[in-house]
Amino acid sequence: MSKETSLPELDLALNLRVQQFYNHEAEVLDDRRFREWLALFDKEATYRMPIRRTVPPRERKVEFTGPSDLSIFDENYEDLSQRIAKLETGKAWAEEPPSRTRHCVSNVRVRRDGDKLAVRSNFIIFQGRFERDSHVYYGEKHDLLKESPSGVFGLAVAERLILLDHTTLEVPAVSIFF
């Protein structure tokens, strides 16, 4: 016997606005317009990528490192701004020469969470440097978006949690934005 679940009501206009927000974000990242990308974030935003571990099914609750544990990224708006400032100097060794990226976003799911929008999306990101140095990242983003009259499409990222499918990264440095 199947258990009936109730799906949230679909707001097509809202879903289209959120999808366009993510399409715009991918475009500015791939065009290396990092200051424009940062403007998509609230000044109080958090940006976190925990480390994924391979664990048995009974330990799924600890598959990702927690907020007080080591993470690949655990940044705020100011940290992101400083990373961009360093990139702009041309002296960020991990990005000399700059990466070529292609951000593909799919399966965007939106639900209201109080006065914010909880958005989950899947991503595939290609990163290429030099002639034969390329990497592909797979994963899911969990974002909290807030309504922002000055934001692109009236939205701003208040919180971003990036969950990679990888447990091991074979890259010299994780130097791109997700």
Is the overall model pTM greater than 0.85, yes or no? yes
Residue 3 per-residue DSSP state:
P
Going by pLDDT thresholds of 50, 70 and 90, the confidence category of residue 7 is low
The closest of 161, 172, 5 to 73, measured between CA atoms, is 161
Residue 3 pLDDT more than 80? no
**Residue 69, in any domain of the structure:** yes
pLDDT of the residue at 91 = 87
pLDDT of amino acid 161: 98
- Domain count for the chain: 1
* CATH at 152: 3.10.450.50
Residue 78 lies in a domain: yes
pLDDT tens-place string over residues 145-158: 999 988 889 999 99
**Residue 46 has what pLDDT?**
98
Residue pair 142/120 in contact by the 8 Å Cβ criterion? yes
The arithmetic mean of pLDDT across residues 54-66, rounded, is 91
- Is 172 inside any structural domain? no
Arithmetic mean of pLDDT, 23-50 = 98
Q: What is the mean pLDDT of residues 57-84?
A: 94
Residue 174 inside a domain? The answer is no
pLDDT score recorded for residue 140: 98
Separation of CA 84 from chain center: 16
Does residue 19 belong to any structural domain of this protein? Answer: yes
Residue 47 lies in a domain: yes
Which residue shows structure tokens 């009501």? 9
- A 10 A CB-CB count for 109 gives 12
- Per residue in 83-137, pLDDT (tens digit) is 999 999 988 889 989 999 999 999 999 999 889 999 999 999 999 988 888 999 9
Residue-level pLDDT at 107: 97
Confidence grade of residue 21 (pLDDT, cut at 50, 70, 90): very high
Does 37 reside within a domain? yes
Residue 169 lies in a domain: no
Residue 20's domain comprises 12-164
The top-scoring range by mean pLDDT among 3-7, 31-35, 131-135, 170-174 is 31-35
pLDDT class of 10 with cuts at 50, 70, 90: confident
Answer positive or negative: Cα dihedral of 48, 120, 34, 38: negative
Residues 152, 24 contacting (CB under 8 angstroms): yes
